[in-house]
Amino acid sequence: MKNIISIKDLSTAEIDEIMRGAENMQKIIANPFLLKKMNSPLKPKVTLFFTEPSTRTRGSFSEAARRLNFDRYEISGAEATSLSKKESLADTVRMFASKNQGADILAIRTNTEGTPRFTMEILDKMNCDTAVINAGDGMNQHPTQALLDLFTISKYFERKNIPDLTIGFMGDLAYSRVAHSDLLLFRLLGVKKIRLVSVPEAKIQTKYKDGFTEIIENEDIKTLSDCDIIIALRVQEERYADPVKRETIKGKFRITPENINLFKKEAIIMHPLPNPVNQGEIYPLLYNYDNGPKVIAHGQAANGIPVRMQILWQSYQERCLKNDYQNISTVTPEKIREESAKVCLEKQKNKKMEFFRPIDPETGAGMIIDHLPLGQGSIVQSLLEKTLGDDILPIHTIKGVSSSKYGKKDVVIIENNCSVLKNNDLLATISLKYGERTTLHLVKDKMYRKFKLNPPTRIKKLLACPNPNCVTRHEPEAVTCFYNTFPNLGIVECAYCEREFPSEDLQPI
Ligand code: CP
Q: For 21-60, write each residue's pLDDT tens digit.
A: 999 999 999 999 888 777 665 689 999 999 999 999 999 9
Say if ligand 1 is within 6 A of residue 273 CB: yes
| DSSP string over 199-252 | -GGGPPPGGGGTT-SEEEEES-GGGGGG-SEEEEE---GGG-S-HHHHHHHTTS
Q: Assess whether pLDDT exceeds 60 at residue 357.
A: yes
DSSP state of 282: B
pLDDT, tens digit (0-9, with 9 covering 90-100), for 375-387: 999 999 999 999 9
Say if ligand 1 is within 6 A of residue 456 CB: no
pLDDT given for residue 129 in this prediction:
92
Integer angstrom CA distances of residue 241 from 38, 199, 468:
48, 17, 12
Percent of the chain with pLDDT over 70: 98
75 has which bridge partners?
Answer: 49
Kindly give the distance from the C-alpha atom of residue 36 to the centroid of ligand 1, in angstroms, as a whole number: 30
Atom from ligand 1 closest to the CA of residue 53: 6
Would you place residue 288 in the very low, low, confident or very high pLDDT band (cuts 50, 70, 90)?
confident
**With helix as H, strand as E and coil as C, how does 358-417 read?**
CCCCCCCCEEEEEEEECCCHHHHHHHHHHHHHHHHCCEEEEEEEEECCCEEEEEEEECCC
- For the chain, first and last CA: distance in Å? 34
pLDDT, tens digit (0-9, with 9 covering 90-100), for 419-432: 999 999 999 999 99
pLDDT given for residue 232 in this prediction:
97
* Mean pLDDT on 491-509: 96
- 184 SS3 class: helix
pLDDT, tens digit (0-9, with 9 covering 90-100), for 444-464: 999 999 999 999 999 999 999
pLDDT given for residue 311 in this prediction:
98
Cα dihedral sign, 295-200-239-247 = negative
- Considering only CA atoms, which residue is closest to atom 6 of ligand 1? 54
Say if ligand 1 is within 6 A of residue 55 CB: yes
Q: Assess whether pLDDT exceeds 90 at residue 250.
A: no
Say if ligand 1 is within 6 A of residue 467 CB: no
Q: Assess whether pLDDT exceeds 90 at residue 94.
A: yes
Kindly give the distance from the C-alpha atom of residue 320 to the centroid of ligand 1, in angstroms, as a whole number: 29
Say if ligand 1 is within 6 A of residue 304 CB: no
Among 49, 57, 144, residue to substitute to test ligand 1 (most atoms within 8 Å of Cβ): 57
- Considering only CA atoms, which residue is closest to atom 3 of ligand 1? 57
pLDDT, tens digit (0-9, with 9 covering 90-100), for 139-171: 999 999 999 999 999 999 999 999 999 999 999
Q: Which of 470, 477, 454 is nearest to 505 (CA)?
A: 470
Atom from ligand 1 closest to the CA of residue 135: 3
pLDDT, tens digit (0-9, with 9 covering 90-100), for 332-341: 899 999 999 9
DSSP state of 256: -
Q: Assess whether pLDDT exceeds 60 at residue 74.
A: yes
Integer angstrom CA distances of residue 293 from 233, 266, 421:
17, 5, 62
E strand or H helix at 56: helix 56-67
